[in-house]
Amino acid sequence: EPEVTQTPSHQVTQMGQEVILRCVPISNHLYFYWYRQILGQKVEFLVSFYNNEISEKSEIFDDQFSVERPDGSNFTLKIRSTKLEDSAMYFCASSEYRGDQGYTFGSGTRLTVV
C-alpha cells in the first residue's frame, strides 16, 4: 500500500533555529497538507498546497512558516525561527483529489524545541 514518508522522525532544535521537515507524498497525489498535533491534543490544520501554491492556510500558519515543493517528489515545511510552542508532532498528508478522497497521513515528525 502506498505511503506518505516523512523525515526525520524526530528533530530536536534550539529555540530560534530554523528547521525543515520533509515529506514525500504518494506519487499520483495532487493535494498536499501539513497538520500538527501538540501532545495530547487534537490534530490541527496548518496549510494545504495544490498546483505549486498554497490553497488555504490556518491562523497558526503565520510568517514563520513556509512550504515548498522543491522537486517532483518532496514537500517541505520550514519553520524559520522556532519557538517553544512549536513543539509538536507534524503530520504531512496527501490526497489524489480534494481532501475528501483517500486522505493519507505520514508517520509524522516529532519536533522538540528546547
- By CB under 8 A, is residue 107 in contact with other proteins? yes
Parallel, antiparallel, or unpaired for β 109-113 and 10-13? Answer: parallel
The footprint of other proteins on residues 26-45 (CB under 8 A) is 33, 35, 41-45
CA distance linking residue 31 with residue 52, whole number of Å: 10
Q: Where are the beta strands (DSSP E) in 25-101?
A: 31-37, 43-50, 53-57, 65-68, 75-79, 88-95
Q: Which is closer to other proteins, CB of 15 or CB of 43?
A: 43
The footprint of other proteins on residues 46-65 (CB under 8 A) is 48, 55-56, 58
By CB under 8 A, name the binding residues for other proteins.
Answer: 33, 35, 41-45, 48, 55-56, 58, 91, 97-101, 103-108
